[in-house]
Structure 1
Amino acid sequence: MTEPDNQDRLKQLDDRIAKVKAASTPKPASEEHYSQAQQGWRMVTELVAGLGIGFGIGYGLDVLFGTLPIFMVLFIMLGLAAGIKTMMRTAQEIQDQQMSAQADAQKED
Structure 2
Amino acid sequence: MSDPNNTGDHAARMKALEGKIAALKGTEERRPHQDEHYSQAQMAWRMVIELVAGLGIGFGIGYGLDAFFGTSPWLMIIFIFFGLAAGVQTMMRSAQEIQRDQLAKQAGQDKEE
- TM-score normalised to structure 2 length: 0.69
The 5-angstrom pairing of residues 60-71 of structure 1 reads: 60-71=64-75
Q: Tell me which residue corresponds to 1:48.
A: 52
Q: CA RMSD in A?
A: 2.7
Q: Tell me which residue corresponds to 2:41.
A: 37
Q: Tell me which residue corresponds to 1:102.
A: 106
The 5-angstrom pairing of residues 52-91 of structure 1 reads: 52-91=56-95
Count of residue pairs brought into register by the alignment: 92
Q: Deviations over 1:14-69 (max 9, x none)?
A: 79x94x7666558x9xxx96521111100000000000000000000000000011
> Is it true that 1:93 corresponds to 2:103 in the alignment?
no
Which shows bigger deviation, 32-41 or 66-75? Answer: 32-41
Identity %: 60
Aligned-pair CA distance for 1:86? 0.1
CA distance in 2, matches of 1:93, 1:36: 13
Unpaired stretches in structure 2, ≥5 consecutive residues: 1-15
Unpaired stretches in structure 1, ≥5 consecutive residues: 1-10
> Runs of 4 or more off by more than 6 Å in structure 1?
none
- TM-score normalised to structure 1 length: 0.72
Over 3 Å counting, the alpha-carbon distance change for 1:21 and 1:103 in structure 2 is farther
